[in-house]
Structure formats: C-alpha cells, structure tokens
Structure 1
Amino acid sequence: MTTKFGFTKMNIAEFESWISNLRVARTILYVQEHHTWNPSYASCTPTNHFEVQRGMKTYHVSNNGWMDIGQHFTTFPDGSILTGRSLEQTPACILGFNSNSVCIENLGNFDTGKDVMTTAHKDTIIRMTAALCKKFGITVNSNKVVYHHWFNLTTGERNNGTKNNKTCPGTAFFGGNSVSACEQHFLPLVSATLSGAPIPAPVPANILKYVSVNTDSLNIRTGANAQSAKVSGVLPAVLGSVLRVFEVKNGWYRISGSQQHWVNGSYTLDVTRATVNATTLNVRSGPGTSFPKVGSFMKGQEVFIIDEQQGWSKISADNKWVKKEFLDVS
C-alpha cells in the first residue's frame, strides 16, 4: 500500500485484509455502486491514480462545495483501489440515500459502447463489494446493494430507473443497470465470492440500543470518562452518524463489541432501527399527508427513527417523515 495526497492505494487482496481489520463507529447498512463517467479509462495511465483521485476531490470541493471527495473508494481499470472520504463520514453520492451507506465509484464510463471493463477491474469490484458486505453484515440483495440509476436525481425517490435518473453505474455495468440485471448478473457473483451464500444481517444480540451523534465531532476514547485517551487510529464520530451501544457506564457509551471504545452519551440521541414493510413507502417533509412527498422507500429498506408524532416517524434530521404503521421495529 502507498499513500499520497491523503489517499491510500491498494490492491484487492490488501483491501480485503485492511477492511476486515478497520474499526468503524458509523453504522453501515448499504453499499452504493457508481461509475465516474468522467474521468473515463482514457484518463488513466499506469502511474496517475493519485492525480486522478485528487482531480475528483478538487472538483467536488471547488465546484460542488462539498467538504471532501464524495466517495469512500474509487476502483481503477488495473484493479487498484484508492481511499477517499473517511468511512466515518456520510458520502455525497445519492440524494436522499447517503445515510448509513458506503459509496464505491468505479472509474470509467460503463454505458453501452463506451469503456469495456477490464478483467482486473471486474474482479476488484466483485470482491470489494463482497468484502464490504462481509465486514458490515450486509445481505446481498438489491435492497442493500444499490445502483445510482434507481434513484430520481431531483427528489431522491427510488423509482428503479423510471424517471429523471442517471445511467450510473452504466447501461453495460455487469449486464445492465436495471434491478433485474443487478440481481441476475452482479449480485450472484458477489454471493459466489462469499462461498455462494448471502450474508444474513441479524441485529447482534449484545447491542443495547442505537444512538445518533448530535454534535459536529464526537471523540472516541479508551475509557468511560473525558480523561481517557482518544482511541489511536480512529477518527471522531460526526454529526448524524448512527452508533451501536454495547454498554452504558456513568453516562458514557461503549460503541464497540470487542474494544474499549467509548463516547460521551450526552452528545447523542437515542434512535430506533426499523424495516419498511410496505411495497412502496412515501417519504414526506412533515408528519402528515398534507406535506409534500420528498421520496420513497422500498420494502425491506432499513431506517432509523429519531422522533415520532401522531403516528408518523421522523427518519432523518432534515425533516423526512414516514407513516409509522409501515415500519417494523427491529
């Protein structure tokens, strides 16, 4: 592995080892698949990975006004992987579907007739997706591994590519960008990498509850007090991140099942994990049908409830509400 411009470059075998050992406080439920469209394969040389990644970060920060590069990882034609935004940060990749997601940008234009994905690139994308699903206990299905094409660009509503959608990750991405193409051509390859079986995603029995960070930056310490040292190599949890709580002590929360990683509970809010039980669940800007529709969820998608009013559940800090009766609490 090599590091430059704040990014780390690795091959897929290195990534598999690295991600399995990485400590991540933020709760991750979804994997997003994208293509860059531009830069495309023509932009790549055997030695310019870091320069291409820095160019994307510069564009995202200077032109889009984002805090950092949008994606967590970028895959390259030779099978290399570069890190991007910290996994503790929510990505800036799919409007309305970034919370609790990890974002993969696959460098290239994979629309029909454009870049032909290399064998090395295919292998990395499949194995990387599998490694992330294994790491975070993500079930390999089209509710959990999603394509950008399935979401309306203006509203964030999941419409499976029927109106106002990008082609991302490409009309020729592993046989196509539709839900059926994903289920027929891509997800079986990911499952096969995981010994042929989808990973179950039960809620671990030793989780006491979930909380959401309500301060800009929350330090993670080695003990349940402010005098304990910050955990080495682990970034602070950030505003809106959902954390798992395994132990409570004197107002402090242990957020790792195996390590002494603690945060001050006074800077968090309790939230409840729930699963959508309706075929399509409308998301509104307030707690009632009189409020505008701002998106939708599909059956099986998971959300975190942060407030409730008169039979409605708030599932996002930016005023997104759904009818409570269409949620099954985990």
Structure 2
Amino acid sequence: MTTKFGFTKMDIDEFETWISNLRVARTILYIQEHHTWSPSYVQCKANNQFEIQQGMKTYHVSTHGWMDIGQHFSTFPDGSILTGRSLESTPACIVGFNSNAICIENVGNFDKGKDVMTPAHRDTIIRMAAALCKKFSINVSSDKIIYHHWFNLSTGARNNGSGNNKTCPGTDFFGGNKVADCESNFLPLVKAKVVGKINPAAQNTVIKYVTVISDTLNIREDANAQSKKVSGRAPVILGSVLRVFQEKNGWYKISGSQQQWINAAYTKEVKRATVNADTLNVRSGPANIFPKVAAFANGQEVFVIDEENGWCKISAENKWVKKEFLDMA
C-alpha cells in the first residue's frame, strides 16, 4: 500500500485484509455503487490514480463547497482502490440517502457504448462489495446495495430510475442500471464471494443505538476518562450513529470484538425504524408547512433522534418525517 495526498492506494487483496481489521464506529447499513462518468478510462494512465483522486477532491471542495472528497473509495481500471473521506463521515453522494452509507465511485463511464470494464476492475468491484458486506453484516440485496440511478436527483426519493435520474453507475454496469439488472447480474456475483463468511463482531448483541451530540468524541481503551485513547482511531463526530454492546459506569462499549469505549454523557439514545409507506416525504421541520427536502422509499431504515407532535427527527440536520409512517424496531 502507498499513500499520497492523504489517500491510500491498495489492491483488492490488500483491501480485504485492511477492511477486515479496520475499526469503524459509525453504523453502516448501505453500500452505494456509482461511476464517475468523468474522469473516464481515457484519463486513466499507468500511475496517475492519486492525481485523479486529488482532482476529484479539488472539484468537490471548490465547486460544491464540501469539506472533503464526496466518496469513501474510488476503484480504477487496473483494479486498484484509493481511499477517500473517512468512513466515520457521511458521504456526499445521493441526496437524502447518505446517512449510514458507504459511497464507492468506480472510475469510468459505464453507459452503453462507452468504457468496457476491464477484468481487473470487475473483480475489484465485486470483491469490494462482498468484503464490505462481510465487514458490516450487510445483506446482499437491492435494499442494501444501491445504485444512484434509483434515486430522484432533486428529492432523493427512490423511484428505481423512473424519473429525474442519473444513469449512474451506468446503463451497462454489469449489464444495466435497473434494479432487475442489479439483482440478476451483480448481486449473485457478490453473494458468491460472501457465502459462508460471517463477521465475528456481528455475533455480539447490540443493546441500543446512540448518536453523538458533541462536535467530536474520543474513543478510549476502557470505561473511564483516564484511559488511553484507542490507537489509530480518530474521534467520532457529531451526528454519527453508533452501536452499543455494553454499558459500564456511564460509558458505552461500541465494538463487539474490541475494547472501545465512549462517554455516554455525550450521546443520546436513538431508535431504529423502517419506513412503511410507499414514499415518505422528508421535511425541514416537524409539520407539513416545512419544505420537502427529500423522500424515502418503503423499507428504508432510519434512526429517530427526537419526536415532536407526531413527527420524528431522523438526522442531526433538520430532517423530519411523520411518525405514523415508521415502524419502530
């Protein structure tokens, strides 16, 4: 593995080992698959992956005003992978569907008649999705592995590609960008790489979910403020939803397999819920008079941070939905 511009480059074998050992506090429920469209294969040379990644970051920061590159990972035609923004941070990729997601940008234009995916790239995309499913105990389904094409560009409503949508990840991405294409052509390949592999941490019982209410929150080796910070772990940030496996003396253990503790005083318990309506509007406040900012599809999972007059706040930002259209876990 090599590092440049703050990004780390690795091949898929290295990634599988790296991700299995990586400690991530943020709750991950979804994997987003994208293509960059531009840059495409024609811009990719033998050793310019870092320059392409840095170019995307510069564009995201200077044009969109984001604090960092939008995606967590980028994959390249030679099968290499570059890290992007921290996995502890929410991506900036699909309007209304970034919370609890990992965003993968597959460099290339995979619309029909454009780039022909290389065998190395294909292998990396499949194995990467499988490794992430294994790591975060994500079911291999079109509810959990999602394409940008399935979401309305303006509202974020899931319409499975029937309205104002990008073609992303491409009209020829593993045979197409529709839900049926994904289920027939991509998911079976991912599932074949996951079969029989279970993340040991998933066997531990999650007793609750909490969200971070301070700007940052240190992760320590034991349940007290004098304990050392966990080596190699950045603090978790405001709005992150974390799993709690154990409580002790006002502290929460947030790993099922390792000693990683946070001070409970800087968190708030949240409830996991599932959308039960065909489409659920998301508004900027707890009433119908507030502007619509996104929409959720049936079956989407959210975390309820607060409740007010029959409405539920589902983000550290002001995003609210009607409680009657949620099934609480």
- Is TM > 0.5 for Structure 1 vs Structure 2? yes
Matched-pair contact (CA < 8 Å) for 1:246–1:254 = yes
2:254 maps to what in 1? 255
Deviations 1:120-165 (A, max 9, x none): 1111101100110111011111111111111122222222222221
1:117 maps to what in 2? 117
Alpha-carbon distance between aligned partners in 2 of 1:205 and 1:76, rounded to the nearest angstrom = 35
Matches within 5 A, 1:48-63: 48-63=48-63
2:232 maps to what in 1? 233
> Structure 2: where are the runs of 5+ without partners?
none
Alpha-carbon distance between aligned partners in 1 of 2:257 and 2:60, rounded to the nearest angstrom = 36
2:66 maps to what in 1? 66
Measured after TM superposition, the shift of residue 199 of structure 1 is: 8.0
1:268 maps to what in 2? 267
Establish whether residue 154 from structure 1 lines up as the match of residue 154 from structure 2.
yes
Alpha-carbon distance between aligned partners in 2 of 1:163 and 1:62, rounded to the nearest angstrom = 29
2:6 maps to what in 1? 6
Matched-pair contact (CA < 8 Å) for 2:142–2:179 = yes
Matched-pair contact (CA < 8 Å) for 1:285–1:294 = yes
Deviations 1:213-266 (A, max 9, x none): 112211111122222111001111011110111222222211111211111112
Residues 14 and 117 (structure 1), Cα distance of their counterparts in 2 relative to 1, 3 Å cut: same
Give the counterpart letter for 2:149 in structure 1.
H
Matched-pair contact (CA < 8 Å) for 1:142–1:179 = yes
2:321 maps to what in 1? 322
1:181 maps to what in 2? 181
Q: Give the stretch that moved more between structures: 274-283 or 100-109.
A: 274-283
Matches within 5 A, 1:1-330: 1-195=1-195, 206-330=205-329
Matched-pair contact (CA < 8 Å) for 2:276–2:299 = yes
Measured after TM superposition, the shift of residue 54 of structure 1 is: 1.2
Residues 2 and 55 (structure 1), Cα distance of their counterparts in 2 relative to 1, 3 Å cut: same
Alpha-carbon distance between aligned partners in 2 of 1:233 and 1:5, rounded to the nearest angstrom = 19
Alpha-carbon distance between aligned partners in 1 of 2:20 and 2:288, rounded to the nearest angstrom = 44
Deviations 1:268-321 (A, max 9, x none): 111011122333333233334444433322222211011112332221222222
Alpha-carbon distance between aligned partners in 1 of 2:59 and 2:236, rounded to the nearest angstrom = 25
Give the counterpart letter for 2:57 in structure 1.
K
Give the counterpart letter for 2:266 in structure 1.
Y
Give the counterpart letter for 1:312 in structure 2.
W
Alpha-carbon distance between aligned partners in 1 of 2:81 and 2:314, rounded to the nearest angstrom = 33
Task: Name the SS of the counterpart of 1:124 in structure 2.
Answer: helix
Task: Name the SS of the counterpart of 2:163 in structure 1.
Answer: coil
Alpha-carbon distance between aligned partners in 1 of 2:316 and 2:240, rounded to the nearest angstrom = 11
> Structure 1: where are the runs of 5+ without partners?
none
Alpha-carbon distance between aligned partners in 2 of 1:69 and 1:126, rounded to the nearest angstrom = 23
Measured after TM superposition, the shift of residue 205 of structure 1 is: 5.9
Give the counterpart letter for 2:23 in structure 1.
R
Residues 155 and 198 (structure 1), Cα distance of their counterparts in 2 relative to 1, 3 Å cut: farther
Give the counterpart letter for 2:50 in structure 1.
F
Deviations 1:4-61 (A, max 9, x none): 2211111111111111111100000000000111111011111111111111111112
Q: Give the stretch that moved more between structures: 127-136 or 249-258.
A: 249-258
Matched-pair contact (CA < 8 Å) for 1:140–1:198 = no
Q: Identity over the aligned pairs, expressed in percent?
A: 72
Alpha-carbon distance between aligned partners in 1 of 2:41 and 2:288, rounded to the nearest angstrom = 47
Alpha-carbon distance between aligned partners in 2 of 1:131 and 1:177, rounded to the nearest angstrom = 22
Matched-pair contact (CA < 8 Å) for 2:286–2:320 = yes
Measured after TM superposition, the shift of residue 206 of structure 1 is: 2.2
Task: Name the SS of the counterpart of 1:37 in structure 2.
Answer: coil
Deviations 1:45-81 (A, max 9, x none): 1111111111111111222211111110000001111
Provide runs of 4+ in structure 1 moved above 4 Å.
Answer: 197-200, 202-205
Q: Give the stretch that moved more between structures: 314-323 or 143-152.
A: 314-323
Alpha-carbon distance between aligned partners in 1 of 2:132 and 2:276, rounded to the nearest angstrom = 25
Alpha-carbon distance between aligned partners in 2 of 1:308 and 1:218, rounded to the nearest angstrom = 24
Give the counterpart letter for 1:320 in structure 2.
K
Alpha-carbon distance between aligned partners in 2 of 1:93 and 1:207, rounded to the nearest angstrom = 28
Matched-pair contact (CA < 8 Å) for 1:218–1:236 = yes
Q: Give the stretch that moved more between structures: 206-215 or 307-316.
A: 307-316
Given the two structures, how large is their TM-score scaled by the length of structure 1?
0.94
Matched-pair contact (CA < 8 Å) for 2:311–2:323 = yes
Deviations 1:82-128 (A, max 9, x none): 11111111111111111100000000011111111111111110110
Alpha-carbon distance between aligned partners in 2 of 1:249 and 1:317, rounded to the nearest angstrom = 26
Residues 307 and 184 (structure 1), Cα distance of their counterparts in 2 relative to 1, 3 Å cut: same
